[in-house]
Every structure is written in C-alpha cells, then in structure tokens.
Chains A and B, each alone.
Chain A
Amino acid sequence: MSKALQVVDLSMKFDDQEIFKKINFSLETGSMTALLGPNGAGKTTLVRILIGMLSPSHGYFELADDVKVGYVPQFRNIDPDYPLSIKSFIELNTPFWKSQKVKDQVNHILQETHLKGLADTRMGEASGGQKQRAYLAQALLDQPNFIILDEATASLDPKAKEELMSLIAHLNHEHKMTVLFVTHDIPLAKRYMKDYLYLSDGTVSQGKMEDFKESFN
C-alpha cells in the first residue's frame, strides 16, 4: 500500500500553549481513519495544518504527489435567513459563467450526495443533515481523492448521521477516496471507520478501530 500522508515530528504551539509535540503517523491511500480525541485536544488544529491554513511550529508533513485534499470545516455560519439555494451554495467556488462541464459536475455531485431533489431549497431552510451534505458536496466539487471532515456529524440526529456516514463509506468504496474523519462519537466511528488516530495530551496513537479502548467525554 502507498502512503497518502506522512507526518513527521510535527509540533504546534499557540504562543506558549503547546497543542501537540513531535507527533508521527502516516495514512495509507484508500484508508478510512477516525481522528479521535477529547475536546480541545488539537484535532481541528492538526487538520488546519494538513490543509495548509496554519503552519506548524516544528516538523513537516508530506502528501503523495497525486493527492488532492478536500476539506469540510467544523463550523459554518449559515443562519435561518441565509438566502442561497443548496445548488448555488455548492457552486460558490465556480466561475460566474459556468461551462457545460462545470454544470455537469455540479449535477453529478448533487446526485451523488442525494441533494438532486433539494437543489432549489434554501440553505437556511435545509435540515442539519442536508446542510452537512451540501458542505461535503461543495468540497467534492474540487474533485479530491482525500477528504477530511471535521465533526461533520456532531449536531445531527441519528438518521442524518447514518445517511452521511454511508455516503462517506460510499466515497471510500466506490471512489477509493482516503478518508480522515474527525469525531467524538466512538460508537459511530467503530461502525464505519477502520483505523483510528487518537490525539490526547499532545501525543498521538494509532491502531485498528476495533481495538480502540480508551474512553473520554
């Protein structure tokens, strides 16, 4: 198996607050990994370093040459008055005048994320699960082969959770997408993810999801 990501001696500090120190791990191409850890452990910080929004204070990471990362951030500010339709939201990062190719891509992704019939629904009026799928769809429009989702299921009801997770499993199975899924929800991670990374007290441990023992709140 080839490596999609290799993290080497990575450390991060905010001012004098050390978030993690000299962590090392790698992810294989096509793997499905849960990034676990208590609140404030630094999961979001690690992810933001991996997508290039933050620079680490020490160490480095390497992505394989053919890796293209898609990212679904932890929080979005979409209030109930938000006017754009789901479709318009998804295609925000496309040109004003869209080529047929872009239009086809958008339609394909709407279909894949089960949002076709909801394309015209306003984001502000969409349910939590629909919004979360729209965030994912927007990230998929970049055609990534490595997707990082940060607490995507945190505020969803059980049914919406299952729907999102089976969509992620589908991306992994059918499109061979490498998945890094940040979550708190260990039972959910046990059901859908194969490997884990556990970030806590500034260090990281890695293993098979079924062997994951630690518990935290």
Chain B
Amino acid sequence: MFVYEFMRNAFWAATFIAITCGVVGVYVVARNFSFLAHTLSEIGFAGAAFAILMGLKPLTGMLIFALLGSIGVGELSMQTEQKESSISAISAFFVGLGILFLSLSSSSSSYATNILFGSIIGVSRSSVYQLVGLSVVVLLIIFAIQRPLNYDSFDHIGAAAHHINTGFIGVVFLVALAMAVSIGSQMVGSMLVFVLLTMPSSTARYLGKSIPSMLAWSVGLALLGVWAGLCLGYITNWPVTFFISVIEVTAYLLVYFTQAIKKRA
C-alpha cells in the first residue's frame, strides 16, 4: 500500500496527529477538559464550514474559530458557575451556525462529510507539511511549559501554593488544545476528534502511574489506532475513522474491565 503516494501522505500526517493528540490528551483528561475539547471541535466545525463558504481551506477556518473559541470558552469555564450548561449552549449555537454556512455555500455534501468525519486519505503533500508543522508547534508549546503544566494539571492546589501562574498556564494550554483539535479533526473529523484526544489518554491513566509513562501509553495507543485504522481502511474500503474509534474504545474498555476485575480480586 505504500507504493501509493496518497497512502504515504496519509501515514505521515496520521503519525504526527496521533503523537500530538496523544500528548495533549494526557493533559485534557488530567484537567477534566474532555467536555471543553468537544466544544472546541464543534466551534471548529463552524469555522471549517465558514472557510468553505469563503473559499478558504477548512483547516484555516477551523484554526481561527477554535483559537478564538479557546480563549472565550476558557474565560467562561473559569468564571461561570453553571459552566456545563453555558458551554453546551455555545456548542449548540456553533453547530447550528456551521450547518447554515454549509447550506449557504452550496458545495457538495462530501465536504460536510469530510469535515465531520475526517478525510485523511487523499490528503495532499502540502497539507501534510502543514499538519506536521502545526503538530510541531503544539508539541513545542507543551514542551516549553511542561513543568508548570504538569504541576498545575496534576495538582492544581499545590501549583497555586507554589506561586505558579496557573491562569496563564491554562490559557497557553487552551491555545495548544485548539490547535490539536483542529489538526486532529483533519484525521478523524470534528465529530470524533475527542476520540483521539481523550480515549488513548484515559486508557493511559490506568496503565501508567507517572507522567512519562502516561504520555508513552497515550501516544502509543493513538499511534496504534491511526496506523491500524489506515491499514484496515485501505484493505476494506470502510472509513478509517470507524476503525480508529473502534480500536481506541476497545482498548479503553479492555483495560477498564481488567482493572475493575483486578480491584475486586
């Protein structure tokens, strides 16, 4: 299958996306941001639809919307009491907006399918460069703040008592998250990007007891999912996204039940 350039492109893009989502996901779960990640993907969906309406690349629109959204939603989630319901309201509004943009743009419905459910096979060489570049930026951001990010994500009270500027760390992380959501959506679609962002890292929480080991498990499981998903998609012609979600969810359930049985014993 690697004789085809489109498959090689897909593999490279998938590899970097999986590494990024695996790393970012560890912090998403540690900070209880799963819900926020999902909201950002819905805001990003509206952005992608808006870009199509304007004749831009979906990734561009998604990045802009998700980045702006991350700042707004972040503020909201830190201040409001009823954050879940207010964030739900925002997601609903943006999904509605996205549907409107898509219908106004009168482009083919395959665009909508691609944004919602991913379109990694057929990604162009230049898009691969873009995705790899963005992945590297996200990883560099995480690397630059890793020490306070680790402390704040896994012990917010301890970090605050050590005069760590937890508000600043939170905002920087949200920016990285918005970018991760945007590039992850290119792979599995905005509908299911939280699968890559939360499933491998949730599984990793059962398997690792230190931050390095959780990162390793999370990235490993994300890579396993996208690589196997691409292969199986190539062989069967079924959607890659389907295989990725089945693999990640199966891994999670397996580990979850093994752990539950161990605890009982």
Residues on A lying within 8 angstroms of B by beta carbon are 51-53, 71, 73, 75-77, 81, 83-85, 87-89, 92-93, 95-96, 120, 122, 135, 138
Contact yes or no, B157 A75, CB < 8 A: yes
* Distance from B41 Cβ to chain A, minimum over Cβ atoms (Å): 24
Contact yes or no, A85 B210, CB < 8 A: yes
Known contacts A53-B160, A53-B161, A53-B163; is-contact A96 B212 (Cβ 8 Å): yes
Contact yes or no, A92 B156, CB < 8 A: no
Contact yes or no, B158 A93, CB < 8 A: yes
B residues within 8 A CB of A88? 209-211
Known contacts A89-B155, A92-B154, A96-B147; is-contact A83 B205 (Cβ 8 Å): yes
Interface bits B131-168 vs A (CB < 8 Å: 1, else 0)? 00000000000000011001100111111111100000
- Cα A75 to Cα B155 with chains together (Å): 11
Contact yes or no, B209 A120, CB < 8 A: yes
- Cα A33 to Cα B203 with chains together (Å): 46
For residue B176, CB closer than 8 A to chain A, the reply is: no
Contact yes or no, A83 B209, CB < 8 A: yes
- Contacting A at CB under 8 A, from B191-222, are 205-206, 208-212, 214
Contact yes or no, A84 B209, CB < 8 A: yes
A residues within 8 A CB of B161? 51, 53, 71, 73
Known contacts A53-B160, A73-B157; is-contact A93 B210 (Cβ 8 Å): no
**Residue on B with the closest CB to A75?**
B157
Residues on B lying within 8 angstroms of A by beta carbon are 146-147, 150-151, 154-163, 205-206, 208-212, 214
* Distance from B165 Cβ to chain A, minimum over Cβ atoms (Å): 12
- Cα A211 to Cα B16 with chains together (Å): 67
**Residue on A with the closest CB to B213?**
A88
Q: 14 additional contacts, CB 8 Å, given A53-B163, A89-B155, A96-B212?
A: A52-B163, A71-B161, A73-B158, A77-B156, A83-B205, A83-B206, A84-B154, A84-B209, A85-B210, A88-B211, A92-B151, A92-B159, A96-B147, A96-B150
Contact yes or no, B206 A77, CB < 8 A: no
Contact yes or no, B147 A95, CB < 8 A: yes
A residues within 8 A CB of B154? 84, 89, 92
Task: Select which of A52, A85, A138 is within 8 A of B158 by beta carbon.
Answer: A138
Task: Select which of A53, A92, A96, A122 is within 8 A of B155 by beta carbon.
Answer: A92
**Residue on B with the closest CB to A74?**
B157
Max chain B C-beta neighbours (<10 A), residue from A75, A93, A122, A135: A93
Contact yes or no, A84 B158, CB < 8 A: no
* Distance from B79 Cβ to chain A, minimum over Cβ atoms (Å): 17
- Cα A92 to Cα B30 with chains together (Å): 13
Max chain A C-beta neighbours (<10 A), residue from B147, B163, B208, B210: B210
- Cα A84 to Cα B160 with chains together (Å): 19
- Cα A89 to Cα B150 with chains together (Å): 10
| A-B complex: 3 closest residue pairs judged by Cβ atoms | A85-B209, A88-B210, A83-B205
* Distance from A201 Cβ to chain B, minimum over Cβ atoms (Å): 27
* Distance from B29 Cβ to chain A, minimum over Cβ atoms (Å): 9
- Cα A122 to Cα B154 with chains together (Å): 13
- Cα A75 to Cα B212 with chains together (Å): 26
Contact yes or no, B147 A81, CB < 8 A: no
**Residue on A with the closest CB to B146?**
A96
Contact yes or no, A83 B214, CB < 8 A: yes
B residues within 8 A CB of A81? 205
- Cα A76 to Cα B151 with chains together (Å): 13
Task: Select which of B146, B156, B210 is within 8 A of A84 by beta carbon.
Answer: B210
Contact yes or no, A77 B163, CB < 8 A: no
A residues within 8 A CB of B160? 53
Known contacts A77-B156, A77-B157, A84-B211; is-contact A93 B206 (Cβ 8 Å): no
- Cα A141 to Cα B178 with chains together (Å): 35
* Distance from A139 Cβ to chain B, minimum over Cβ atoms (Å): 8
- Cα A146 to Cα B75 with chains together (Å): 36
**Residue on A with the closest CB to B204?**
A83
**Residue on A with the closest CB to B29?**
A83
B residues within 8 A CB of A51? 161
* Distance from A112 Cβ to chain B, minimum over Cβ atoms (Å): 19
* Distance from A144 Cβ to chain B, minimum over Cβ atoms (Å): 12
* Distance from B260 Cβ to chain A, minimum over Cβ atoms (Å): 12
Contact yes or no, A76 B209, CB < 8 A: no
**Residue on A with the closest CB to B30?**
A83
